[in-house]
Structure 1
Amino acid sequence: MYIADETWPELGDYFDDESLALVPLGSTEQHGPHLPLATDHLIAEALASEAAERTGYLRTPTINVGVSPHHRQFNGTMWVDAPEFRDYVESFTRNLTYHGIDRVVYVNAHGGNVDHLREVGRRLRDDEELYAIEWMWDESIPELVDDLFEQNGPHGGPKETAMIQHLRPELVREDRLADARDGGVPDVEAADTIKHGARTFYDAADNTGNGVLGDQTDATAAKGAELFEAASEQLCRLCEWLDDQPFEDLLPKDHV
């Protein structure tokens, strides 16, 4: 169920019976010469929509600009600063509690959002107002990602390429896949920006000339469909698990 498609009386029926919501989040940032800037938020929205359809749980609108200053050198990348992002997501989430939501899954598809969503979840939990957890699609199926791709990224690589080939094939510049591979680097280690255990890079441009890593030519729509199905299943299982938990068990433990 997508909240914005419903009327307020219809939503009253949902809030009478359910207390869980899915919040998709991504970014609007460069994903190399072959993928659209919308890549992350397209993936997040598609997975949240699929899970909402399968389970009946509520999906909110997508937060499609995230914490992406590390991609700022590339044309068109948009971002919000981390403190403002955290405050916005916290406010966005708190208003759901007004209607009776007490647990949220952040369906996230952008690595730059992870730490900040965890911090927001801690704030809400410490206030004993709501339990919110961050879920990252590729981290839910790491074995499958490793099995499908020899060089899987982490950014703009074949796993994201395959997902967009499956979800929005018209947005993939198929004639640029080899350029993406050849103009980027296989992985962060190959960029030689880790020195004596220290990560010396701050921006994507410090690692890769065209903004991406991995072998994009290894991606196919069929692999994307396999990834999407497996991740959707994991997300549905997470929602069902979370819905089954007594709310008091989700709150902070007492001081020892």
Structure 2
Amino acid sequence: MKVGILALGSHHERHGAALPLDTDAQIAEHIAREAAKRASAEFFGVLKSSYELPEINTGEHQSLEELEGEVREAVQEAKDEGFDAIVLVNAHGGNEKLSERLNAIEENLGMKIIFNTIICKLEGPHAGTGELSIGSVIGITDESKLEEHANVGKHPEVGFAGLQEVREKYLWAEKHAREIEEFGVKIDKFLGEKILQCAIVDVINDVRELGTA
């Protein structure tokens, strides 16, 4: 079975002072490229669309329908090029809603799809220590802005600590916010490398699982 890899992130989402707006897209691309290289799969690029949950206003996102449409087009293109399956590497939490629509895409296009969102589970709070550390490893964290980054009054999106409505609606957001309030943020390259390698290996395992299906 011929397997391709697509990356999903967000391209215009606030990530505090020390991380760029396209942090999620860059992390997803790094994981997808590395996994493709190690597993002898083909990297198909990074999708432009992303979705965000209600009440989380941290940047510019698209509708779930737009995201689904772009995924359909990309998977169809892969099918036309002779691929049998796709691994979607996602690094933006809001995109996880897409998983509810993937079965229909699989059935309509006759393509097997695995949605890998492990990095979202491993990295912890939004723009927190995990993402800062990963960003440092791949070269996108501005370490000179770490002190400003930790100011949730100025950057309320960090761990969603300053977004009260989000904290009240989503239990996971409240948990992440409290983690930021209690422990703050830091850069730990060992942690960042460990998280990245775990995520890359997980994607490689998905590729190999499809390849032997």
The TM-score with structure 2 as length reference comes to 0.80
1:124 to 95, 105, 109: 105
Q: Distance in 2 between matches of 1:70 and 1:24?
A: 23
What SS is found at the alignment partner of 2:46?
coil
Aligned to 1:6: none
2:130 to 121, 140, 159: 159
Q: Deviations over 1:176-208 (max 9, x none)?
A: 32333331488569966589xx7279xx9xx98
Aligned to 2:39: 55
Aligned to 1:23: 6
Contact 2:15 2:127 in 1 (8 A): yes
The TM-score with structure 1 as length reference comes to 0.68
Aligned to 1:93: 75
Q: Distance in 1 between matches of 2:48 and 2:166?
A: 30
Please, what is the CA RMSD of the aligned residues? Answer: 3.3
Aligned to 2:201: 233
Contact 1:47 1:228 in 2 (8 A): yes
What SS is found at the alignment partner of 1:22?
strand
Deviation at 1:127, TM superposition (A): 2.8
Code of the residue aligned with 1:93 in structure 2: it is V
Asked if residue 39 in structure 1 is aligned to residue 23 in structure 2, the reply is yes
What SS is found at the alignment partner of 1:66?
coil
Q: 1:157 to 1:38 in 2, by over 3 A?
A: same
Contact 2:88 2:114 in 1 (8 A): yes
Q: Distance in 2 between matches of 1:226 and 1:173?
A: 20
Q: Deviations over 1:206-256 (max 9, x none)?
A: x98xxxx575633222221121112111211121112111xxxxxxxxxxx
Aligned to 1:254: none
With a CA cutoff of 8 Å and minimum separation of 6, indicate the structure with the bigger relative contact order.
Answer: 2
Contact 2:76 2:109 in 1 (8 A): no
Q: How much identity, in percent, do the aligned residues show?
A: 21
Contact 1:26 1:66 in 2 (8 A): yes
Aligned to 1:80: 62
Aligned to 2:211: 243
Contact 1:21 1:104 in 2 (8 A): yes
Contact 2:92 2:120 in 1 (8 A): no
Aligned to 1:176: 145
Q: Distance in 2 between matches of 1:61 and 1:185?
A: 27
Code of the residue aligned with 2:147 in structure 1: it is A
Q: Which runs of 5+ in 2 are unaligned?
A: none
Contact 1:65 1:78 in 2 (8 A): no
1:223 to 191, 194, 203: 191
Deviation at 1:78, TM superposition (A): 2.9
Deviation at 1:137, TM superposition (A): 3.2
What SS is found at the alignment partner of 1:33?
coil
Q: Distance in 2 between matches of 1:69 and 1:55?
A: 33
